Amino acid sequence: MKPVPFNYLCAYSLEEALQHLSRSEDAKVIAGGQSLMPMLNFRIVQPSLLIDIGKLVELDFIKEEGDQIVIGSLTRHSTVANSELVKKNLPVIHEALKHVAHLAIRNRGTIGGSLSHADPAAEYPMLSLLLDATMYCESVDQKRIIPADEFFAGSLSTVLAEDEILTQIRFSKTKANTGWAFEEFAQRDGDFALAAVGVLVDKDSKGHISNLQIGMMGVGETALRLNSIEAELNGQAYSEELLETAMSNLSSLLLPNTDLHASAEYRRHLAGQLFKKTFKNAWNMASIEK
Amino acid sequence: MSEIEKVSLWVIVNGVVHDDLIDPRLLLSDYLRINLGLTGTHVGCEHGVCGACTILVDGASARSCLMLAVQANGLEINTVESLGSPDNLNPLQRAFNEHHGLQCGFCTPGMLMTSTEMLQKYPLKTDEEIRELLSGNLCRCTGYQGIVDAVRDCARKRDAGVISIRDISPRREKSL
């Protein structure tokens, strides 16, 4: 339960961190370390060099830019959870963060770390898909912008190159009249979710479902955005029957695992029930006259 | 593999400055226990699940098995040794004693450090809030009820002005 020996460099600027990264064969970047440290302790990862970006204050910020909220990749979970800017403009993130890990882990863990680690049962990857976030990534040679739906390559895997660092994440503000809901089920507060669902929905001028966005996690190789169900429901009038049909169509799209915590069948059932609950709650919120 | 270079570490632990040269892979939990002899910080799972090794880093709780010692460079650490002493328990430790908030004591240092941050920063108006904030610390003896009782008791005494934040906050060995 001790890491293998490695060398260590602490970067005091992003540029310095990128330079170190470009010069090393198998370096790992450490920020909050709340996913990487267990992997080091278990020797699942054995880097020859660890580059610490934990002191890069330039990546620790939450700001408003027009209709977007921009979050620096080194921003800790506890900072996001306590941000009034996030609570007002990205209420579904504020709600979901109540489920992210435990107090001590929230104090250290970062949004960029969670996204780069890409655990299919972690909240941020799902939230980034749900909210159509864009990831700003940098290497010594280039900067690129990757939409969330192209960022995740599989379980614990992203399209980030070896020499790239995720620097900021941009989210469009959720409009005040949009209905939203987030529900998660875990065996213990703060544990990884067995399943979780997030929904955003508008009610259009005809009283129909519009701009529906559905995100799910814990039920596949990566977090999911359910585009086909969204297309099926958009433009329709809300009814219980419609919801039941969507639930049965949904279950065939999910590919959960069986493990010691829950069977695949149970997870699929759970995801369906959570979808029903979140959709109803989001729709009720969208239906309130403002 | 290339030669591993030691790294320098300057850290304040319980009010005392330490200036060391260490291996990069040294965990903060091991640095505290082995290098500094502060064995109050317990090591349970070493992968961030049990919470026994919880300490305060610049006043915020953190798992010392999920930090490298070198990551604490320039920071201030507090361990359970900076609360009361065996002869002079602080009000939180006394409450754990009075409410049977421990049996074997293995989880207790982590429980105390997490509870310290909770009492410093959170309203703790409901048991649900207390339980959620304590959920990162496992206890296999008490069933948690005594621990929740102890934290609630301290929170109410804090709210009533019977104990102050100073009474439950870490002490420094010397003022700097």
Q: Which of residues 180-209 of A touch B (CB under 8 A)?
A: 188-190
Please indicate if any CB of chain B lies within 8 Å of the CB of A30: yes
Name the average pLDDT for chain A.
Answer: 95
**Are the C-beta atoms of residues B156 and B125 closer than 8 Å to each other?**
no
Residues B100 and B94: their CA atoms lie apart, in Å, by 10
Q: Does A41 touch chain B (CB under 8 A)?
A: yes
Top-tier CATH class for B7-82:
alpha beta
Task: Report chain B residues whose CB lies below 8 A from the CB of A103.
Answer: 61, 114, 117-118, 133, 136
B65–A50 CB contact, under 8 Å: no
Q: What's the pLDDT at A201?
A: 98
Sheet holding B60-63, edge to edge: B16-22, B7-13, B76-78, B54-57, B60-63
Q: Which helix (H) or strand (E) holds A93?
A: helix A91-96
A278 to chain B nearest CA, in Å? 22
Query: Testing the interface with A: which of B3, B22, B25, B144 to mutate, by most A Cβ within 10 A?
Result: B25
Q: Out of B5, B25, B117, whose CB is closest to A3?
A: B25
- Distance, in Å, from the CA atom of A138 to the CA atom of A155, rounded to the nearest integer, reads 22
The pLDDT of residue B140 is 96
Res A283 pLDDT > 60? yes
Query: Among A223, A203, A205, which Cα is nearest to A283's?
Result: A203
Contact A78/B at CB under 8 A:
yes
pLDDT tens-digit series, residues A66-83: 999 999 999 999 999 999
Q: Model pTM?
A: 0.95
- With 90 as the cut, is the pLDDT of residue A4 above it? yes
Which of B5, B47, B60 lies nearest to residue A107, judging by beta carbons? B60
**Mean per-residue pLDDT for A156-174?**
97
Please give chain B's pLDDT, 176 residues, in tens. Answer: 568 999 999 999 999 999 999 999 999 999 999 999 999 999 999 999 999 999 999 999 999 999 999 999 999 999 999 999 999 999 999 999 999 999 999 999 999 999 999 999 999 999 999 999 999 999 999 999 999 999 999 999 999 999 999 999 998 765 44
For residue A251, the model assigns a pLDDT of 86
Contact assignment for A41 to B47 by CB distance below 8 Å: yes
The answer to whether residues A71 and A61 touch, using CB atoms and an 8 Å cutoff, is yes
* Residues on chain B touching A54 (C-beta within 8 angstroms): 71
Instruction: State the pLDDT at residue A89.
Output: 98
- Say which amino acid occupies B71: Q
* In chain B, where the domains are located: 7-82, 91-168
- Three-state helix/strand/coil letters over chain B: CCCCCCEEEEEEECCEEEEEEECCCCEHHHHHHHHCCCCCCCCCCCCCCCCCCEEEECCEEEEHHHCEHHHHCCCEEECHHHCCECCECCHHHHHHHHCCCCCCCCCHHHHHHHHHHHHHHCCCCCHHHHHHHHCCCCCCCCCCHHHHHHHHHHHHHHHCCCCCHHHHCCCCCCCC
Q: Which residues are B88's β-sheet partners?
A: B85
For the packed helices B108-121 and B145-159, what is the interaxial angle rounded to 10 degrees? Answer: 30
Please indicate whether, in this complex, the C-beta atoms of A105 and B2 are within 8 angstroms of each other: no
The answer to whether B48 contacts A37, with C-beta atoms less than 8 Å apart, is yes
Tokens encoding A136: 């700003």
pLDDT bin (cut points 50, 70, 90) of residue A191 is confident
Q: Is the pLDDT of residue A290 over 70?
A: no
In this chain, the answer to whether the domains covering B7-82 and B91-168 adopt an identical fold is no
| Alpha carbon distance A48, A4 (integer Å) | 9
What domains can be seen in chain A, in order of their start residue?
7-52 (3.30.43.10), 57-172 (3.30.465.10), 179-287 (3.30.390.50)
The per-residue pLDDT for range A211-239, each reduced to its tens digit, is 999 999 989 889 999 999 999 999 999 99
Sequence-distant contacts of A260-267: CB under 8 A, at least 24 apart = A261/A187, A261/A194, A262/A194, A266/A194, A267/A194, A267/A195, A267/A218, A267/A219
User: What's the farthest any 2 CA atoms get from each other in chain A?
Assistant: 64
- Whose CA is closest to A14, among A167, A143, A142? A167
- Reported as a pLDDT band with limits 50, 70 and 90, residue A272 is very high
Two tokens, residue B26: 């040294």
Find the mean pLDDT for residues A267-285: 96
> Which of A4, A38, A48 lies nearest to residue B48, judging by beta carbons?
A38
| Whether the predicted pLDDT of A155 surpasses 80 | yes
Q: State how far the alpha carbon of A191 is from the alpha carbons of A103, A105, B132, in Å.
A: 12, 11, 11
- Residue among B51, B38, B7 at smallest CA distance from B25: B7
* CATH level 3 topology of B91-168: DNA polymerase; domain 1 (1.10.150)
For residue B138, the chain A residue with the least C-alpha distance is: A188
- Best A103, A119, A187 residue to mutate vs chain B (most B CBs within 10 Å): A103
* Set of chain B residues whose Cβ sits within 8 Å of the Cβ of A188: 135
Instruction: Name the DSSP letter for residue A206.
Output: T
Chain A partners of B47 at a C-beta cutoff of 8 Å?
1, 37-38, 41-42
**How far is it, in rounded angstroms, from Cα A177 to Cα A289?**
8
Return the residue of A nearest to B44 by Cα: A1
Contact A126, A198 (CB under 8 A): yes
CA atoms of A78 and B57, how far apart (whole Å): 14
Interval A84-91 mean pLDDT: 98
